[in-house]
Amino acid sequence: MSASYAERLKEYPNKGKCGLPENYDTSRSLSFKISTLANLLNDSSYTVVLTGAGISTSAGIPDFRGPNGIWTREQERLKQLQLMMMKKKKRNRVEQESRKKKKNGDDDLMEQLQDDREQQQQKQETSNEDNLSFVTAKPTLTHRALAHLIATTKKPKSNKQHHRNNNNSHYHVHHLITQNIDGLHGKTPQLPRSHLSILHGDIFTEKCPTCHTEYIRNYEISTIGLQPTGRYCTNGSCQGALIDTLLDWEDALPEKDWEKSQVECAKAELILCLGTSLRIEPAGGLCRLATTEGVLEAGADEWDLSDDGDAKEQSKKKKKGKKKQQQSTQKKLGYVIVNLQETPYDDQAALVIRAKVDDVMERLMSKLGYGSDWDT
């Protein structure tokens, strides 16, 4: 699953801090924080959610930097390999000094058997992860809850759910931005693509670079790094060669989704960061756009944040005849982080919750007034 995807990536040494300890809030503290989060969501007239690998672990998809994450395990294997090499060098040095092992190959045989056992163990660990499939993985409670919050109003009357209209303040969540490639947001029926920005690609999506048509498949796309998939566009007479959408380490973010993400975060009064270590930039820094300081630093106070027009043009175009201070005086509630590990942005967060994301979202839905049947 995540391991098979990670194996396709090029070698990249700077994967950030991995294996940091996970911490949990006390029951009393967690209850207070969830109530605070509910109040923030009710007070916000425009909320954006940024999701990371931590929202998919309950679907059986490993994260990357957790105690058992893909990059954490990779670093541990590298340390073990380095230790093995040191031991081997020491044994070789002893061999050369004593010259006793030249007479007997039993030690060499035992050494080789030990190396084989360790290599086999590593292969078994990887194969256990590969047996899982992105295809069979299903959206978690968090995926479903976020889609529900986008699709329904803040205060459903008479237990009826109302379809989205033009009054954004009636909704708890207005846009989702994901760093995940697992496609689980896309498997959530209530979530339209127009309310989702995908920054690092989707394992099920290939696109036409000519007419920009996206094709969602029910199987994994086998290539990575925006490479040709061997299929062709069927949009009219285009027939362009389709490419995957999965980014390799140094690939540029998809322009349309990235520009849309910046615009949405600049509009946001509140940004909710779920299950992300916020260690991959520039995506991690998006949360700062929910603060007045972050908006000013990014120059977002000069962007045209109207709902009309292309996101790319909105992010570049300055409002005519309006003072620079207009956007800087926009109400900003800050950003909230729900993650078991510390992140580089904890200190300036309005609220940090240390708990599993599904547990937080289940209790949050109740606090927001959604009955127990919202997930049926």
For residue 163, indicate whether it is catalytic. Answer: no
Q: Which residues pair with 175 in a beta bridge?
A: 48
User: Which of 143, 185, 195, 200 is an active site residue?
Assistant: 200
How far is residue 234's CA from residue 242's CA, in Å, rounded to a whole number?
10
Burial string for 127-148 (b: 16+ CB within 10 Å, else e) reads eebeebebeebebbbbbbbbbb
C-alpha distances (whole Å) from 215 to each of 160, 188, 204, 321, 372 are 34, 16, 8, 42, 35
Residues 6 or more apart in contact with residue 124 via CB below 8 angstroms: none
Largest CA distance in the chain: 90
Tokens of 94: 């002893």
How far is residue 122's CA from residue 346's CA, in Å, rounded to a whole number?
35
Candidates 198, 199, 184; CA nearest to 146 is 184
Catalytic residues, which ones? 200
